[in-house]
Structure 1
Amino acid sequence: MAKAAILEQPGEGLVIGDVELADPAPHEVLIDTKACGLCHSDLHFIDGAYPHPLPAIPGHEAAGVVSAVGSEVRSVQVGDHVVSCLSAFCGQCEFCVTGRMALCLGANTRRDPTGTPRITRGDGSPVNQMLNLSAFSEQMLIHENACVSIDKDMPLDRAAVIGCAVTTGAGTIFNACSVVPGETVAVVGCGGVGLAAINAAKIAGAGKVIAIDPIKEKRDLAEVLGATHTVDAMADDAVQQVMEMSGGGVHHAIEAVGRQASADLAVAIMRRGGTATILGMMPLDCKVGLSAMDLLSGKKLQGAIMGMNHFPVDLPRLVDFYMRGLLDLDTIIAERIPLDEVNAGFDKMREGHSARSVIVFD
């Protein structure tokens, strides 16, 4: 029996209740969850902007300790400290074998829907697993390719935010954008993902790192994490400011919010030959585009789901960056809360003034 935060109806918050987790199947891992970050992606499902079968347990930015493994599991063992990843990979499809694991649809990483579910209530009724993880729970039952073992000296509350925010933000810098030292990077939106991108741009040796956000507290955090310049996103001359700071536009414009206006801003501040990368989960009816002149100027527009990560390789490296003092995860975490305060944590996220809240399980 595990305590979990369950989404019963969109718009009504999460309900704390008890669930049962099945025994691990051959390729599954049972994890005692130790920490889980609150991510804006969860909020899209909680508020009903994105559909999902209900009831379900959200949460996907987690770290914990392996308590049991299935008969075929070879990548982790009982007692390992692990970080989970929502982009579970099958290892066999076109995307996996061409090195684009983040695009894998993970077909064989889920249980057959006609079989025994991973999560049930006490009466045996199924609870849907969100994004293959459902980490707002004292335990997770996931496929072995949805987690990776890490250094046991790594604090698990900091490790948790690597699982989504840092993998997405930093992965975009290192993988999707392949930032070259000296290039200029602008990040629109300084939440957890945006702050991680800013920190990674500094690590990658970007010449200028421009943080764009309407909230001063977040622009101040961005400066702590490596931003060389900041711009108020709501300023009438925001585009002009960036153009002047960057000498005609940025090499890489990264949208880390999920709003039409911020995506349009990212497109508007590219230099000739620049790339705009959209990370945020925008409303499903939104479109982002390039004009004919943008295309004639060699500009590019791309998505980068989960930072186009190579999860088993990238994540231990990010842990190492933290342990060596290069990656600043302490500044990204604004507060640590118990599971019972999850709804208050999301209320704080809606207000938009602070960085990551992390649930810590005793």
Structure 2
Amino acid sequence: MKIEAALLWGLNEPWSVEEVELDGPAEGEVLVRVHSTGLCRTSDHLSTGIVPFPYPAVGGHEGAGVIEEVGEGVRDLEPGDHVVLLWEPACGKCKWCIRGHTNLCDLGANIVIGPQLDGTCRVHARGEDVNQEFLVGAFAPYTVAPAMSVCKIDEDIPLGVAGLFGCSVTCGWGSAVRTGRVEPGDTVVVMGVGGVGSNAVQGARCAGAQHIVAIDPVPFKRENAERLGATHVCADYDEAWDTVSELTRGQLADKALICTNICETTYVEQALSLVGKLGHVVMAGIPRPEPEPTQMPLWEMLLYQKQLSGHMFGGCNPQADIPMLIDMYRRGQLVIDDLVTKTYRLDEINDGYADLNAGRNIRGMLTFA
């Protein structure tokens, strides 16, 4: 079928909205009519090279919609099912999947290669094959993705916000609850409170943190963090250091969650200095792809048993955790609707990313309905 999609053709180029040819689903795949897709920072990183990805590419991964068609061999999904797109597939058979770490599935190696799992492309434009961001490519009203890259959800969940559960909600909440293992009474620092950081604040609140200190230079993001459960907000590291030191009588924080747009080495160093004994720092933001020197206090980390962790998909098992998080949303335990600052048409995608980079949005959403 012929559809409009937002493509990247090269490094530091704007999104190009143009007509593409979309093939039907192959074996093990599904065709999804996309309702809305979040303008996630990670998709912007494809254009800047922070996330290396082969061009040309259809962007977008934080989407939700309705299945229109299933390919051969798909048994657990059918046309009419409402689904959230997942930016990492889970085979259910590899070492990591059978241990419950589906976020580390071996098939995850394919998400930055470009073509589908069988090595071919479903999207074509200007006489070329076009790759799909993380196998889903959701900056389009229709997409074809592996069946193992979608999570079925109940039909009562608004598709206008459901896509957030496929990335920012799960990654942020999981950085606090799954990877960070925040406990009741903890003091937690959240560095950066955009789409992921806002949900890290909510995760820390749900886990029973006593103090939640949110750091962000943008005033409206700090105000939003307070509405979501932050007990204290700070504009920068120095202010946060003073706040955390006073709150804890010098013992410092238990957890620090780095949710900045780029996980710079400076932020890692700052986070390690903000946690005390048994302190745990989680990198929820994406670092630069090239190796960089980092000044880590190794002696202090040894003596104080400090930890530094990476995380994928918030350390969550999406097929289990997304339905649970959706139920928390139903019960009013998670604020989701208010995270969408503004909606955009597909042809306004560059405006949406300009707003994100200017600090005007928690999350912008492309809508196709």
How many angstroms apart in 1 are the aligned matches of 2:277 and 2:268? 17
1:334 is paired with a residue whose SS is: strand
Cα deviation for residue 241 of structure 1 reads 2.2
Kindly report structure 1 stretches of 4+ aligned residues shifted beyond 4 Å.
Answer: none
Preserved contact between residue 50 and residue 287 of structure 2 (Cα < 8 Å):
no
Q: What is the aligned partner in structure 1 of residue 224 from structure 2?
A: 221
Q: What is the aligned partner in structure 1 of residue 97 from structure 2?
A: 96
Q: What is the aligned partner in structure 1 of residue 45 from structure 2?
A: 44
Preserved contact between residue 186 and residue 210 of structure 2 (Cα < 8 Å):
yes
Q: What is the aligned partner in structure 1 of residue 285 from structure 2?
A: 280
Instruction: Tell me if 1:330 matches 2:330.
Output: no
Cα deviation for residue 287 of structure 1 reads 5.0
**Residues 1:272 and 1:52: Cα distance change in structure 2 (over 3 Å):** same
How many angstroms apart in 2 are the aligned matches of 1:306 and 1:339? 26
Query: Could you tell me the TM-score, scaled by structure 1's length?
Result: 0.94
User: Percent of aligned pairs with the same residue?
Assistant: 35
Which residues of 2 match residues 47-196 of structure 1 at below 5 A? 47-106=48-107, 110-113=116-119, 116-121=120-125, 123=127, 125-196=128-199
Question: What letter is aligned with 1:145?
Answer: M
1:281 is paired with a residue whose SS is: coil
**Residues 1:287 and 1:167: Cα distance change in structure 2 (over 3 Å):** farther
CA deviation profile, 1:307-336 (whole Å, cap 9, x unmatched): 011010011111111111111012211111
How many angstroms apart in 2 are the aligned matches of 1:175 and 1:263? 19
How many angstroms apart in 1 are the aligned matches of 2:184 and 2:204? 9
Q: Across the two proteins, how many residue pairs are aligned to each other?
A: 358
* More displaced stretch, 59-68 vs 14-23: 14-23
Cα deviation for residue 237 of structure 1 reads 4.3
Preserved contact between residue 290 and residue 301 of structure 1 (Cα < 8 Å):
no
CA deviation profile, 1:80-129 (whole Å, cap 9, x unmatched): 1100111211222221122211112316894322xx42212374x21011
CA deviation profile, 1:175-215 (whole Å, cap 9, x unmatched): 11222222221100011000011012112221111111112
Q: What is the aligned partner in structure 1 of residue 366 from structure 2?
A: 359
**Residues 1:301 and 1:108: Cα distance change in structure 2 (over 3 Å):** closer
How many angstroms apart in 2 are the aligned matches of 1:239 and 1:254? 14
How many angstroms apart in 1 are the aligned matches of 2:288 and 2:205? 30
Q: What is the aligned partner in structure 2 of residue 16 from structure 1?
A: 17
Query: Could you tell me the TM-score, scaled by structure 2's length?
Result: 0.93
Cα deviation for residue 264 of structure 1 reads 2.1
Preserved contact between residue 180 and residue 206 of structure 1 (Cα < 8 Å):
yes
1:36 is paired with a residue whose SS is: strand
Q: What is the aligned partner in structure 1 of residue 353 from structure 2?
A: 346
Question: What letter is aligned with 2:146?
Answer: H
How many angstroms apart in 1 are the aligned matches of 2:44 and 2:126? 26
Aligned equivalent of 1:239, options 238, 241, 256: 241
Preserved contact between residue 6 and residue 16 of structure 2 (Cα < 8 Å):
yes
Structure 2 unpaired stretches of 5+? none
Structure 1 unpaired stretches of 5+? none
How many angstroms apart in 1 are the aligned matches of 2:20 and 2:208? 47
Cα deviation for residue 46 of structure 1 reads 1.2
Question: What letter is aligned with 1:175?
Answer: R
